[in-house]
Structure 1
C-alpha cells in the first residue's frame, strides 16, 4: 500500500514537472531542473522514512572489529582516525572529523566562524586532497576566494582589497594562486537555500567526485525551511536534522556554522555555553561535535591574550570536552596552531547519549 502511494505521488509530480518544462513561466531551465530534483528527492525521503533497515548485531560486530584491526595495523599509527582539521591539539582531542558527523561551529559575530571553517576546508583540500563543498549564504564566492588567498599566502587582507601589494607580496600571491588553483574547493554562493537543495547539490558533487572530504554550510540561520513551522525555532530544528541526515547519507563530515544569542554579551564571562545556541535546542541534540570560538580581544582591548583564540569543545558525542588554544592572525584571517602545542585542557568525557 505504501509503495503504491509513493508511486502515485511520483506519477503526479512527474506530470507537474512535465507541465513546468513546457510552460516554465519565465523561469530558467536550471531553476525548473532544481525544483524538479528537489521535489523528487522529497518523495524519496518520505519513502525512506517509512522503511526499516534492521541489521544483525553479528554483522555489525564483524564490521567494527575489522575497523579496529585496520587502525591497529596502519603503517602510520595515529590518534587521528577521521579527516584531519590541520590543528594538532584539536585533532588530538577529536581524532579528526568523522564520517557522518554533524559538526557545529558557533560564535558571536567577528569571532572568526567563517575563517575557521575555511581554514579547515583549505587543509582538507590542499593536504588530504579531498573535495570540499562550501555553501556560502552570507559571503559571495569572490569574497571567500580573496580570504583564501590571504590565508594560504599569508597576505594582508587590506592590501589584497586595495591592491597595494609590496614587492615580496607578489611572490606570495603567485604561490597562493598556484596552490589554490589545483585545490578541489567548490563554492556555492546561492542565498537562502533550503535543506533539500543543499542535499541535492551535495549529492551531485558526491556523484561527480566519488567522495567528499567535507561539506561546509555558512550558516544555519540563513537557510530556509522546506515547510513553514510554528516559529523559527521549529524551522531551525528541521534544518538541523536535515544536515545530520546529509552527513549520514553521504558518509561525510558536515560543518554547519551557527550564531549565538546576543544575551551572552550581558554576562561578565562571555565564553559561550550550550544554552547560547541560537533559536533551537535541536542543534545541541543533533550535533556530534560542537565547537565554540571565543577571542577575548573582541571584548577586552587590554587583554593579555591578543591573537589568542579559545576553541571550546562544548559537546563531543564520543570523546572529551574541553578547551584548546589557537593563534588568530587577523590580517590574514587565519587560525594557526598555538605556539605552545599541547596547550589544551580536557574537562571530562562527554559520553552524550543524544
Structure 2
C-alpha cells in the first residue's frame, strides 16, 4: 500500500504517513483555519508532484483561487505602479496557478446530496487523474446519513486518500480552554468508526485577544485508526492565508 508524507513538515512529527485508502477528518469551530490549512496542504501536495483535487460545496473556483493568490505580495507593491500593471500581474499569477495539477471541483454544479458528491469525485477522477482529494466541508452536504461511510468506501474504492473538513458543535465553548474534543463532532460516533485520522484545530486568539495572533494549534486524537494524544503548533499569516515557514516567491509549475 502506498504511503505519502504530509506536505507540512511539522505534521510529520505527530502523524504517520497518509495511506492511499485513508479517510482523514479535520474539525474545528467556524473561522479556526480549516479551509486555510487544507488549501495550504493541497497546494504543497501539488508542489511535491501529487495531482490534487479540492472539492467544495461552499465556494466557487474563483474564490478558492483568490485565497491562494493572496500568498503573493504583489498587491501592495504593484498598486504603486498603476492599476494596469497590478491587474496584469494578477492575471499572470492566475494563469500559472491554473497550469499546475491542482483541480478545484465546484460540486454545486453536480448537486449537494451525499450520493451526487461521491459520484462527482469518482467521475472526475477519471478525467483529472488526481491522487488525493480534499472535501470542504461535511455539514454542507445534504441527506448526510451514513456520509462518513460513503467517503471511507470511496477512498478504498478509488485507492486515494480523502481529507474532509467538519464543523464542530458549540459545545466546544464548554470545554476547558475552549479546546475541541472528539465529542464535539457532529455524529462523532460515526467519525470514530470510519475515520483513520482525526485532527482538530484551535486558534486561541479567537477566544483571547492577548493570545499569539499567528498560531494554529493542531490536535490529533486518532491516527491509523487508534486513539492518540499528539499536537503541534503551526504559524500562519492569516491575511495571506499561508504558512509563515513557506517561501512564497513563485507558483511552482
Scaled by the length of structure 2, the TM-score of the pair is 0.83
More helix by share: 1
2:43 maps to: 122
1:275 maps to: 183
1:101 maps to: 22
Q: Shift of the alpha carbon at 1:155?
A: 5.9
Q: Matched residue of 2:210: which SS?
A: coil
Assess if the C-alpha contact under 8 Å between 2:107 and 2:117 holds in 1.
no
Q: Shift of the alpha carbon at 1:178?
A: 5.2
Structure index of larger Rg? 1
State the aligned residue count: 240
Q: Does 1:309 align with 2:216?
A: yes
RMSD over aligned Cα, in angstroms? Answer: 2.8
2:202 maps to: 294
Q: Does 1:139 align with 2:59?
A: yes
Q: Structure 2 matches for 1:183-194, cutoff 5 A? A: 183-191=100-108, 193-194=112-113
Q: Does 1:259 align with 2:167?
A: yes
Q: Deviations over 1:223-280 (max 9, x none)?
A: 122xxxxxxxxx44x1110011111111111011001011211334111111011244
1:198 maps to: 117
Assess if the C-alpha contact under 8 Å between 1:277 and 1:284 holds in 2.
no
2:231 maps to: 323
Q: Shift of the alpha carbon at 1:126?
A: 2.6
Q: Which has the higher contact order (CA 8 A, sep 6+)?
A: 2
Change in Cα spacing, 1:131 to 1:316, as seen in structure 2 (3 Å) is: same
Give the Cα separation in 1 of the matches to 2:14 and 2:198. Answer: 13
Change in Cα spacing, 1:322 to 1:166, as seen in structure 2 (3 Å) is: farther
Gaps of 5+ in 2: 247-253
1:224 maps to: 142
Q: Matched residue of 1:332: which SS?
A: coil
Q: Shift of the alpha carbon at 1:177?
A: 3.2
Change in Cα spacing, 1:331 to 1:289, as seen in structure 2 (3 Å) is: same
Match of 1:208 among 124, 127, 152: 127
Q: Matched residue of 2:154: which SS?
A: helix
Scaled by the length of structure 1, the TM-score of the pair is 0.61
Q: Does 1:92 align with 2:9?
A: no
Q: Matched residue of 1:258: which SS?
A: strand
Match of 1:181 among 98, 101, 106: 98
More strand by share: 2
Q: Matched residue of 2:69: which SS?
A: helix
2:147 maps to: 239
